[in-house]
Structure 1
C-alpha cells in the first residue's frame, strides 16, 4: 500500500473515532436525564478535556466548584432561578452568569421565540433586509431613555463597547477617551483600553492610545482632566462609564456624580457612553440604570441579559446626531452574526417578559428585601464583612480580605448557592440572581449566608 493510501486510511479511522465520540455526546444531549454511570462519564470527560484541550488553568481557578480538590459539579440543566449539576444537585443561582439571566433560566417565552424562529430561519442572508432587526431597533428606540434612537446589534458586551468607541471617534474625529478606575468594559483590545484592571491590561500593553483613567466618583478629577485635554489639544471624544461598577465590586456612584459628568461632557463637547452591559435590562430597579440616576447618555451599551439568557446578543443605541456618522457607509463597522434572527427573537421576547412581568419594579422591591436581610445576617460579623451595598438585584458584599470572601463563596457553593467570587476579585462577591427569584429562595440564600459566616474563622 502506498504512503498516500496509508495516510488516507489513518485519517478515515480518526474520523470514525471522532464521529463515534460526537454521536455519544449528541445522544446525551438528547436525553432529559442521565444515569449515574453516564453522569460519572460526563464529569470525568469534562475535567480531562479541560485539562488537555481547553485550559488547565480553569481547573485551578474555579475552586468554588470543588470540594477537597475533587470536582463536585459539572453544570447540566437549568430553569427558573436554579441550575442542576450532572448528578442532579440543585443550586440557587445568585451569580446569574454575571447578570445574564434577568428573566430567569430558559424562560418559556424566550425559548419559544427562539425555537419558533429557528423552525423558519436561523441566520440572515446578510444582503436582504431582515425584519426582526428592524422591529427590535424600534422597540429599543421606544424603551431607552431620552432621544436615543438608532441601534447597532452585536453578540457580546465587549463588542458593544468596541462599536461605541468607534462611533464616538467617527462623530468628532477626536481620539481621547476618559474611563475610570475599577472599570470593566471588556477584554478585546479597544474595550480593554477602557478597562482598568492591571492584571488584564499588563500583558497586552501598549493598548489603544488616547485612553486616560480617573478615579470613579471624583468629579473634580474628571473636570481637571477634561480641562487639561482641551488645553493640550487632546480634546475628549467621549467619557465611558458603568453607571454602577460591576466587576469593580458593585460600586455605586456618589450622589449627583453622573449628572455632573453629563454636564461636563456637554461643556467640553464630549460624548457620554454608558456601559449598561451589566446594569441594563431591569437589573437595578429600572429598565436601565440611566433612568435610576435621571441621566441620558449619547450612547448606551447593552448585552448579557439582552438575549434573555438564551442567545448571545448585544447592542448599542445612540442619538441620531451621533449615529448618523454611519449613514453614508453602513459597512464602516459590521459583524457577521450581530442582529441575527435568533438573537433578535430572544431580545424581543426578553423585553416583552420584562414589561409583562414588571421585572424592573420587582428587582427594586426584592432587592431592598434581599439587601436588608443580608445586612441583618452580617450583624455581629463586622470583623469579616466590611460593607453590603447595592441597587435592585445588583448587590455586593465586601469583606476585609480576599481570603474571607473566597471562603464565604466556597462555603455557600457547598451549600447549594452559587455567587460570584473568584481568585481575581474575591474581596467583594456579587449577588446577581434572576429578577424572577422567589422570596423563599432569597430567604434560603440569606439563611445560608448567615450559617457560612458563623462557620468561617478569621485568621
Structure 2
C-alpha cells in the first residue's frame, strides 16, 4: 500500500494535474492534515501544525463544523456496531424515518401540509438531476394523458358527424388554415389529420427549463445546462435539454419568456350540434428551478417580488417549481430553508451538503405528493444512495439542528449578522476596493470592484483573466491563514460560509486580514499581494 504522504515530488502528478497547476499559480495548493471545528491545519516545515481559519466551509457543507464531536462519535458507534451500509433493494426504516423528519421540518417552515416523498442520492448535482428527470417524466405522463383525451374527443366527433348529430361549419376549416370545405367524411378526415399532425409536432418539442440568470445547479449532463456560466455549459450543449435564463428583477420578463415558449394542443368538441375547435395548454415548460440564494452566482438572494412572479406565472401554466436548497438550506441562512422568508413554496426541494454533517455524502429530492410518480423509483436508482450509514448520520444532523428549539439556526443567524457587519465595515472603509457585501446568515459574499486597471501588473492581469478573486484568496491563505474562495461564476466575489463553531477571534482575524488585503489592493504602502513562489 502506498502512503500518500510519502509520494516523491519527482513522481508524475496524475490526479487532475491541470487543476493542481491552477491551484499552485494562485498559491492555493495547500495540504491539510487535520480539521476541527472551524479550523484546518497545515503541517509546517518543523513538523508542527499551522491553523487556518476555514471560511470556505466545504462549499457550504460544514455548518456544524469539521469533525463535529457528536457526529464523529455516532459514526464510530455505527461502524463498531457493524451497521449494514450496502443492503440495496431492501427495506430501509432509517430512510423512512429521515423522510418523515424532513417533512416535519418543511411543514413547520412553509405551513404546507401536503406530504413530500423522498428520493435519496449522493450529491447535490445528483439530487437536481433526479428532480429534472422526475419533472420530465411527470410532464410526459401529463402530455400523454392530454393527447389521449384529445384523441377520444376526436373519435367522438367523427362518430357524431357520421350519424348526423353534428355538422362541421366552414369556419372551422378556415380557422385552421385549410380554406373553405364542404361537409363530408373526407373533409372531416382531413381536418382530423391536420389536428393530429399539429399535436404530434407539439408533442415532439423538447422540454424547456426556466432558471434565473446567475444560477448554478451542478455539472452533470442535465444540470450543467441549467447553470448560467457559459464556460461550464457550452461545451456540452448538445447533450441535454436547454434552459431559458430569466433576468433577475425585470418585471414581466418571465411572463414574456413563457409566452414565447407556450404551445397549444388542438381538439374538436360538439356544442349544440356544431363542431368547434378546442385548445389546451401543451406542457412544454418542464420546470422552473432556482436557488433562493444563488451560491456560485455570487451570493445573491432573490427578491420577494421576483419569487412572487415566479410562483404566479408557474401556477398559471402548471409548471412545477424546483427549489434548490443544496447550498442555502439546512439552516445556513438562519432558517432550515432559505426560501421560507421569501415566501417561496416549491413542488420539489433538493437538499445536500450539510445534510451529511461533514462526514457522509448524501442528498435528497423531495417531491410534492400530488406530483409524485411512483414508477420513477423503478427507473432511477443509485448504488450508493440511501445507504444505512449516511441516512443515520443525516438523522443525527437533523437532531443537532433541531435541538434546543433550533438553537443552531439562531446561532447561524446571529453569527451571520456579526460577520455581515464586519464585512460592511470593511466595505465602508474601502469603497474604492469593495463594491458590495450581501447574503444572509452564514452564506455571505464580498464583491470587489473590477481591478483590471490596477497599477500593480499582477493584480490587473489576474483581473483581466477572471482570476482576481483567486489571487486574493491565495494572499489571504499565505499571508493571513484565512481560507476562502471566489464563487464559481462570479470570480470577483469571495464567499464566506463558515460553521457555527466560528469564534469571536475568528471574526476579528478575518477583519484584520481583509483590511490588510484591501489596503494593499488600493496601493497602501506600495506592498504587493503575497504571490506564490515560482
Q: Please tell me whether the aligned partners of residues 284 and 391 of structure 1 are also in contact (alpha carbons under 8 angstroms).
A: yes
**Cα separation, partners in 2 of 1:385 and 1:231, compared to 1, 3 Å:** same
Equivalent residue number for residue 78 of structure 1: 35
- Alpha-carbon distance, 1:153 to partner: 0.7
Q: Please tell me whether the aligned partners of residues 470 and 485 of structure 2 are also in contact (alpha carbons under 8 angstroms).
A: no
1:56 aligns with 2:23: no
Q: Deviations over 1:185-227 (max 9, x none)?
A: 0011011111111111122221312422222333421111112
Distance across 2 between alignment mates of 1:257 and 1:353? 33
- Alpha-carbon distance, 1:424 to partner: 6.5
215-224 vs 298-307, greater mean Cα deviation: 215-224
Equivalent residue number for residue 334 of structure 1: 381
Equivalent residue number for residue 408 of structure 1: 472
Of the three residues 431, 435, 457, the one matched with 2:496 is 431
1:444 aligns with 2:444: no
Q: Please tell me whether the aligned partners of residues 117 and 341 of structure 1 are also in contact (alpha carbons under 8 angstroms).
A: no
233-242 vs 409-418, greater mean Cα deviation: 233-242
TM-score for the superposition, normalised by structure 1: 0.85
Q: How does 1:281-430 map to 2 (within 5 A)?
A: 281-323=330-372, 325-326=373-374, 328=375, 330-356=377-403, 358-401=407-450, 403=463, 404-414=468-478, 415-421=480-486, 425-430=490-495
Distance across 2 between alignment mates of 1:422 and 1:225? 28
- Alpha-carbon distance, 1:422 to partner: 7.0
Q: Please tell me whether the aligned partners of residues 297 and 488 of structure 2 are also in contact (alpha carbons under 8 angstroms).
A: no
**Cα separation, partners in 2 of 1:113 and 1:219, compared to 1, 3 Å:** farther
Q: Please tell me whether the aligned partners of residues 214 and 222 of structure 1 are also in contact (alpha carbons under 8 angstroms).
A: yes
Distance across 2 between alignment mates of 1:277 and 1:422? 15
Q: Please tell me whether the aligned partners of residues 64 and 413 of structure 1 are also in contact (alpha carbons under 8 angstroms).
A: no
**Cα separation, partners in 2 of 1:424 and 1:57, compared to 1, 3 Å:** farther
Equivalent residue number for residue 206 of structure 1: 238
Distance across 2 between alignment mates of 1:307 and 1:441? 24
Q: Please tell me whether the aligned partners of residues 296 and 489 of structure 2 are also in contact (alpha carbons under 8 angstroms).
A: no
Distance across 2 between alignment mates of 1:406 and 1:382? 20
**Cα separation, partners in 2 of 1:333 and 1:423, compared to 1, 3 Å:** closer
Of the three residues 236, 246, 266, the one matched with 2:295 is 246
- Alpha-carbon distance, 1:420 to partner: 1.4
Equivalent residue number for residue 155 of structure 1: 122
- Alpha-carbon distance, 1:150 to partner: 1.0
Distance across 1 between alignment mates of 2:231 and 2:488? 12
Distance across 2 between alignment mates of 1:360 and 1:56? 40
Q: Which has the larger radius of gyration?
A: 2
Equivalent residue number for residue 107 of structure 1: 68
Distance across 2 between alignment mates of 1:308 and 1:61? 29
Equivalent residue number for residue 218 of structure 1: 250
Q: Deviations over 1:57-101 (max 9, x none)?
A: 12222148728xxx5x31111010111123311111100111010
Q: Please tell me whether the aligned partners of residues 408 and 453 of structure 1 are also in contact (alpha carbons under 8 angstroms).
A: no
- Alpha-carbon distance, 1:278 to partner: 0.3
Equivalent residue number for residue 224 of structure 2: 192
For structure 1, the 5+ residue unaligned runs are 1-18, 26-40
Distance across 2 between alignment mates of 1:456 and 1:335? 48
Q: Report SS of the residue matched to 2:345.
A: coil
Distance across 1 between alignment mates of 2:10 and 2:92? 42
1:166 aligns with 2:133: yes
TM-score for the superposition, normalised by structure 2: 0.73
Distance across 1 between alignment mates of 2:137 and 2:433? 48
Equivalent residue number for residue 201 of structure 2: none
Q: Please tell me whether the aligned partners of residues 132 and 341 of structure 1 are also in contact (alpha carbons under 8 angstroms).
A: yes
Q: Please tell me whether the aligned partners of residues 95 and 431 of structure 1 are also in contact (alpha carbons under 8 angstroms).
A: yes
Distance across 2 between alignment mates of 1:336 and 1:184? 25
Q: Please tell me whether the aligned partners of residues 295 and 487 of structure 2 are also in contact (alpha carbons under 8 angstroms).
A: no
**Cα separation, partners in 2 of 1:56 and 1:330, compared to 1, 3 Å:** closer
Q: Deviations over 1:318-355 (max 9, x none)?
A: 110122x12x4621211111111111111111111112
Distance across 2 between alignment mates of 1:216 and 1:117? 46
Q: Please tell me whether the aligned partners of residues 262 and 285 of structure 2 are also in contact (alpha carbons under 8 angstroms).
A: yes
Distance across 2 between alignment mates of 1:83 and 1:246? 22
Task: Count matched residues.
Answer: 414
Equivalent residue number for residue 12 of structure 1: none
